[in-house]
Amino acid sequence: MAERSSTPFISYYVSLPILLGLLFSSSWNLVSAHQKENQGENNSTQCPAKIGECSSLKCAFEIFDASFFNDTEMLEIVKGAKEFNIPIMRANRKLVASVNGGLQYPSVLVFNPQWDTTKHSQPNTKTFKYPSSSAVRRPSNDEDIAFMTIIELGQLIKTKQITSLELTEIFLRRLNRYNGVLEVVVSYTEELAHKQAKEADNLLAKGVYLGPLHGIPYGLKDIISVPKYKTTWGSTTFKNQVLNTEAWVYKRLKAAGAVLVAKLVSGSLASVDVWFGGRTRNPWNIEEFSTGSSAGPAASTSAGMVPFAIGSETAGSISFPAARCGITGLRPTFGTVGRTGVMSLSESLDKLGPFCRSAADCAVVLDAIRGKDPNDMSSRDVPFEDPFLVDITKLTVGYLEDAEIEVVKVLASKGVKMVPFKLNYTVDSVQGILNFTMDVDMLAHFDQWQRSGSDHSYEVQDQWPTELRRARLIPAVDYVQAQRARGKLIREVEESFRSVDAFIGNATDWERVCMGNLVGIPVIVVPTGLKPISHPPANTRRRTTITTGIFAPPQRDHIALALAMAYQSVTNHHKQRPPIDDLGPHDIVNIPKSPPPP
Ligand SMILES: *[C@@H]1O[C@H](CO)[C@@H](O)[C@H](O)[C@H]1NC(C)=O
Ligand SMILES: *[C@@H]1O[C@H](CO)[C@@H](O)[C@H](O)[C@H]1NC(C)=O
Ligand SMILES: *[C@@H]1O[C@H](CO)[C@@H](O)[C@H](O)[C@H]1NC(C)=O
Ligand SMILES: *[C@@H]1O[C@H](CO)[C@@H](O)[C@H](O)[C@H]1NC(C)=O
Ligand SMILES: *[C@@H]1O[C@H](CO)[C@@H](O)[C@H](O)[C@H]1NC(C)=O
Ligand SMILES: *[C@@H]1O[C@H](CO)[C@@H](O)[C@H](O)[C@H]1NC(C)=O
């Protein structure tokens, strides 16, 4: 401490309160150009116009070791910090920081001193009991095959009615055919797919059957690394990047016998649906976009271009595109699926999960990809019960005001006790806690990207670049307060859950998306119907999808899955096929497009 006052930094040290006062005061004397305009608003508590050689604002940013921003950016950051950061800091302080001593509200981010996690992990051997549908017959046309579930396709393979290679060809053809319309593929992995399909067929010929994913084609969101192919993260900056890492989730699917056919669109740096090559569309209405960021996985599964795909969610990236594209999507309990080899926004929020044609398929995929990843400190061997063995008549399920009433009725008719429900937590800064956590973590991972000005080539300038510049000014102490407030939220949600085993409600309500991700609870998004699009052209088959979310407590994914399976066992909404062949005269689409080289 003593050394500090003898360093040249002393002058900054002394000026710090003044500088911070300047940063967060309501009017600005920034660079000399602005000073002239602002002369009418002098306020004696403000900083002197110049401190030493620097303009006052530049000095302030130097204290943050962030002198790389230009004047326009600094002004924007400060405006954003005042508008967005300060209210969140104040709200969280009020929630958890009014008493000194740290006896209450510990941060949820936990330190674990364990060294070699590989030594202590027990491989998970228990698998779910899948329903067998032995009566499955191979349909006569490829389109009907393309819209079969994993469980049905698995049966076709197991009974040798189709080979994995044939199936792979069908899906590669569909990917090629519709990619020009939907813009879902970043890289085809044709060569690898042929190799893996042949291996699956050879194994089966030798009498080895690996389980329901044996020989089933699938796609991966392009934030997931696969050696020898590009892993672009959807971003212009990284569009030629090759990471020679086998992502943990890819290893798991490989071990289960699945066949990778394509790397699918991630919105740029895992946000929205805009990527370096275009913008992914919604198969149910190609005039509209898919939302993101698991844009490619959702849209291609919906359009029957893959039987399933793996996406990820930090804050809505499975829920939103699953809902928009009308497909069943599962965001599992945080920590269920290892993330080694996956681009990271936030260690305490990122989750991998499947997009499928049914909830039963989601259970099948989850079973293959769950388990402790020794190199992902947050991953755990989550002890799920078997979703296929849940007795739903023993469950009490809450429904929120915005739940789809048909789902409530169907589940009640299946013997589930349905009760009206409210999530009555008191934490009022949920969206702010999410922003702080995601933005600070993301900035830590993309520090160099921002410092070098690479963010200037980001596809949507008012999104990550703006948000991450603002994150520069979030003090570490307020990041920790956010993690303490998050802990308070978790306890309150836990309390709310006491009376129910699960609850049903709108899966895309933003506050709920933030809450669910901060707390780490699972949700399955289930299609529940279709409605007309607004201003429909004559004879259009385009529709707006309706969905609902089934939420369960952490490690109770099997409950959400079982309820979704019960609903889907007596309804057909999840079996509808989107009208991707229904191109109108005014559709500007880009067909045919030859596949990029691998
Ligand atoms: C000067 O700025 C401070 C801090 O924003 C504010 O509290 C104070 O009311 C201002 N004084 C005048 C005279 O505007
Ligand atoms: C700014 O300061 C000058 C001189 O101190 C004073 O005369 C003037 O009223 C102040 N203007 C405002 C808007 O406070
Ligand atoms: C400052 O940055 C903004 C946005 O990042 C950019 O649009 C502008 O051209 C830059 N200005 C200068 C003078 O470099
Ligand atoms: C969180 O960040 C987003 C994106 O910048 C912004 O639109 C939203 O208002 C922020 N929410 C809060 C509570 O600050
Ligand atoms: C929420 O309401 C339930 C009763 O429905 C009550 O038991 C619980 O304590 C409440 N939780 C909070 C955080 O207020
Ligand atoms: C769910 O909430 C979103 C956002 O508030 C809204 O746009 C959507 O229409 C809602 N969906 C349903 C089915 O209520």
How does pLDDT run along the chain (598 residues), one tens digit per residue? Answer: 333 333 333 333 334 444 455 555 544 444 444 444 444 455 444 555 444 556 788 889 999 999 999 999 999 999 999 999 999 999 999 999 999 999 999 999 999 888 876 665 556 667 899 887 778 999 999 999 999 999 999 999 999 999 999 999 999 999 999 999 999 999 999 999 999 999 999 999 999 999 999 999 999 999 999 999 999 999 999 999 999 999 999 999 999 999 999 999 999 999 999 999 999 999 999 999 999 999 999 999 999 999 999 999 999 999 999 999 999 999 999 999 999 999 999 999 999 999 999 999 999 999 999 999 999 999 999 888 999 999 999 999 999 999 999 999 999 999 999 999 999 999 999 999 999 999 999 999 999 999 999 999 999 999 999 999 999 999 999 999 999 999 999 999 999 999 999 999 999 999 999 999 999 999 999 999 999 998 888 888 999 999 999 999 999 999 999 999 999 999 999 999 999 887 766 666 655 444 443 3
Nearby residues of 309 by Cβ (< 8 Å), 6 or more positions away = 218, 219, 220, 221, 264, 294, 296, 297, 298, 300, 301, 354, 355
3-class DSSP assignment, residue 286: strand
Report the half-sphere exposure of 406 (CA within 13 A, side-chain side).
15
CA distance 47 to 126: 66
* CA 41 to ligand 2: nearest atom: 13
Q: Does domain 142-421+499-532+542-575 have CATH number 3.90.1300.10?
A: yes
Could you tell me if 217 and 168 are in contact, meaning their C-beta atoms sit under 8 angstroms apart? yes
- Nearest residue to 209 (alpha-carbon basis) of 253, 155, 259, 136: 155
3-class DSSP assignment, residue 397: strand
Catalytic position from the list 293, 344, 358, 429 = 293
User: What is residue 538's predicted lDDT score, i.e. its pLDDT?
Assistant: 82
Distance 546 CA to ligand 3 centre (A): 42
DSSP structure class, residue 281: E
Nearby residues of 575 by Cβ (< 8 Å), 6 or more positions away = 147, 357
Place of tokens 């990527």: 275
Could you tell me if 512 and 560 are in contact, meaning their C-beta atoms sit under 8 angstroms apart? no
CB atoms within 10 A of CB 597: 8
Could you tell me if 250 and 243 are in contact, meaning their C-beta atoms sit under 8 angstroms apart? no
Active site residue 302: no
Indicate the top mutation candidate among 291, 506, 526 to test ligand 6's pocket, ranked by most ligand atoms within 8 A of CB: 506
- Nearest residue to 257 (alpha-carbon basis) of 334, 153, 142: 153
Nearby residues of 135 by Cβ (< 8 Å), 6 or more positions away = none
CA distance 216 to 193: 10
CB atoms within 10 A of CB 102: 11
Beta strands in 107-223 (DSSP E): 185-188, 217-221
Q: What is the largest CA-CA distance in the chain?
A: 86
**b/e 115-134 (16+ beta carbons within 10 angstroms → b):** eeeeeeeeeeeeebebeeee
Could you tell me if 152 and 131 are in contact, meaning their C-beta atoms sit under 8 angstroms apart? no
Catalytic position from the list 317, 348, 378, 429 = 317
Report the half-sphere exposure of 74 (CA within 13 A, side-chain side).
23
Q: Which helix (H) or strand (E) holds 439?
A: helix 430-445
Ligand 2 pocket (Cβ < 6 Å) reads 40-42
Ligand nearest to the CA of 420: 5
Using CB atoms within 10 Å of the CB of residue 32, give its burial: 0 to 12 exposed, 13 to 18 middle, 19+ buried. exposed
The two beta strands, 217-221 and 309-313, are parallel
Ligand nearest to the CA of 92: 4
Q: State the Rg of the chain over Cα.
A: 26
546 lines ligand 6 (CB under 6 A): yes
Ligand nearest to the CA of 527: 6
Could you tell me if 249 and 310 are in contact, meaning their C-beta atoms sit under 8 angstroms apart? yes
Q: Which two tokens stand for residue 445?
A: 């991972």
Bridge partners of 220? 263, 310
Taking CA atoms only, the protein residue closest to ligand 5 atom 3 is: 496
Phi, psi dihedral angles at 525 (to 5 degrees): -95, 125
- Nearest residue to 112 (alpha-carbon basis) of 404, 428, 398, 335: 335
User: What is residue 581's predicted lDDT score, i.e. its pLDDT?
Assistant: 83
CA distance 169 to 97: 59
Nearby residues of 313 by Cβ (< 8 Å), 6 or more positions away = 294, 319, 331, 350, 351, 353, 517
Using CB atoms within 10 Å of the CB of residue 312, give its burial: 0 to 12 exposed, 13 to 18 middle, 19+ buried. buried
Active site residue 293: yes
User: What is residue 134's predicted lDDT score, i.e. its pLDDT?
Assistant: 73
Could you tell me if 250 and 341 are in contact, meaning their C-beta atoms sit under 8 angstroms apart? yes
Q: Which two tokens stand for residue 339?
A: 């993330």
Could you tell me if 573 and 528 are in contact, meaning their C-beta atoms sit under 8 angstroms apart? yes
* CA 425 to ligand 5: nearest atom: 13
Distance 293 CA to ligand 4 centre (A): 17
571-576 LR contacts (CB < 8 Å, sep 24+) = 571/406, 571/410, 571/528, 573/526, 573/527, 573/528, 573/529, 573/530, 574/327, 574/328, 574/357, 574/358, 574/359, 574/526, 574/527, 575/147, 575/357, 576/326, 576/527, 576/530
CATH 3.90.1300.10 domain position(s) in the chain: 142-421+499-532+542-575
Which amino acid appears at position 164 of this protein? S
Nearby residues of 526 by Cβ (< 8 Å), 6 or more positions away = 328, 359, 407, 547, 548, 549, 550, 564, 567, 568, 573, 574
CA distance 309 to 464: 25
Distance 72 CA to ligand 3 centre (A): 6
Q: Is the dihedral of CA 582, 293, 298, 430 positive or negative?
A: negative
Bridge partners of 419? 398
User: What is residue 126's predicted lDDT score, i.e. its pLDDT?
Assistant: 78
Ligand nearest to the CA of 400: 6
Question: 543 vs 46, 571, 580, CA distance in Å?
Answer: 56, 18, 11
Catalytic position from the list 15, 55, 56, 221 = 221
List the alpha helices (DSSP H) in 236-318. 248-255, 295-302
Taking CA atoms only, the protein residue closest to ligand 6 atom 5 is: 509
Distance 21 CA to ligand 2 centre (A): 19
The two beta strands, 351-356 and 417-420, are unpaired
* CA 72 to ligand 3: nearest atom: 1
